[in-house]
Amino acid sequence: MSKTILIIEPIADGHHMHYVRYASIGMLDAGNEVMLATFEESLRNPSYTEMQQTCGNRIKVLPIMQKMKKSWSPGPVGTLARHFSFYRLFTNFWRTSAEAQEADIVFIAYLDYCDKIFSLLGSPFGSTPWAGLLMRPSFHYRSIGVIAPSSPLDTPERMLMRRLLRTKHLRTLFTIDEPLSLYVQRFWPEFTAKMRYVLDPADLEKPIPQPEARSLFGLPMDKRVMLIYGSLSLRKGVDVLLQAAKSPDFPDDMILFLAGKQDSDVQALLNSSEGNALIQCGKLIEVNRYLHKAEQTAAFCASDVVWLGYRDHYSSSGVLAQAQALNMPIIGCREGIIGWTLNKYNNGYVMDDMSVSSILNAIEKRCDKERHLQQEDFNDRFSIARFGADIQSGLQ
């Protein structure tokens, strides 16, 4: 039986709107009517246009007219202020929109900016069932074996999460965080039916052969290529990776491929004499801009191994999902969900630390002479269609 589903996503942000698109596809394919509540400024975001084109302009928009501040003070007080502001926004919108109240169920596409207030005050949507997608909790990491620092906030956040799962009218709490799902199964089994783990999808086009992909970026055909992809900052370990590339023990047949927009620190590093030397000798090739979807896919297909040696990064990573979807070899950090995932599924080499010696050892162990040529295969477990279907089934 078809339903009317209201998606709430007020943030004018391309990343968040992508998840609206992923979920909407599954909802519409199941024959449901979909409404989207968002700010008018969100409608000017290119990701909104992409979403409506993908969905055949079948998503009805309910504009949120109330204004929101753009930033809050850091720390717990600022976090609670932000959460309360969104709760008040949702409450006012619900009370003043007769169309919204016709929905059979409400889905919050990014619950992290209001989950704590929902825990304390309950749902602002009256008796209408609701669900939400939670991305970045961290209180549970150490209990499940994820290497991450503890925080004085872990205990209150754990209490708020348990209270959230007890919230009346909550249909399903979705998460892309597998350790959180396992935590609930292990410690709160009475809430297992309310928690659903969904694989983070890899938004890629159909893979292409490696020679074709390399020709798009001017990459040599006779070298092994390590991909460092995405929004590039020093947190992604670019500096220590460049130090490794300068080592005489760095393989002569390997090059670094930096594909993505660089922040000022990475640009300064590459503009230094040492960075220029690596570029001039052909050990480093860069594409310093955001890549469109076809280029993203080609960047992975052109490479032999993906770098995920991140610093102080404990949540999941879209690059991890993309690399897994294309069955790519991975070299990653031991910390966070990246290290936990690579250890659990044995689909990457986990470095002991972020030293040059660890990087060189990882390259020797993970990147043998045999060229990686299976990128033309896409693992459907990471498809957008599968993600949308999983969301849809959790709303039943």
Tell me: the pLDDT tens digits for 142-201? Answer: 999 999 999 999 999 999 999 999 999 999 999 999 999 999 999 999 999 999 999 999
Split at pLDDT 50, 70, 90, the class of 229 is very high
Model pLDDT, residue 374: 52
pLDDT over 80 (residue 59): yes
Lowest mean pLDDT among 16-30, 36-50, 140-154, 186-200: 36-50
Model pLDDT, residue 371: 44
Angle at 43 between CA 37 and CA 46, to 5 degrees: 130
pLDDT over 90 (residue 11): no
Residue 113 near residue 11 (C-beta atoms within 8 A): yes
* Residue 302 burial (C-beta neighbours within 10 Å; 0-12, 13-18, 19+): buried
Split at pLDDT 50, 70, 90, the class of 369 is very low
Tokens of 114: 């209001």
Model pLDDT, residue 347: 82
As a whole number, the mean pLDDT across the chain is 92
Beta carbons within 10 angstroms of residue 217's beta carbon:
18
Run of H or E residues at 213: helix 210-217
Residue type, 301: C
Model pLDDT, residue 13: 63
Mean pLDDT, to the nearest integer, of 325-342? 94
Query: CATH number of the domain at 4-203+383-394, please?
Result: 3.40.50
Pick one of 3.40.50.2000, 3.20.20.120, 2.120.10.30, 1.10.10.60 as the CATH number of 210-366. Answer: 3.40.50.2000
pLDDT over 70 (residue 12): no
Cα–Cα distance measured from residue 210 to residue 361, given in angstroms and rounded to the nearest whole number: 25
pLDDT over 60 (residue 320): yes
Mean pLDDT, to the nearest integer, of 346-351? 89
Counting residues of the chain whose pLDDT is more than 90, the rounded percentage is 80
Split at pLDDT 50, 70, 90, the class of 375 is low
Which residue spans of the chain are classified as CATH 3.40.50.2000? 210-366
Q: Whole-angstrom distance between the N-terminal and C-terminal Cα of the chain?
A: 10
Model pLDDT, residue 35: 97
What are the strands, taking DSSP E only, across the chain?
A: 4-8, 33-39, 59-64, 105-108, 130-134, 170-175, 195-197, 224-229, 254-259, 284-287, 305-308, 330-332, 349-350
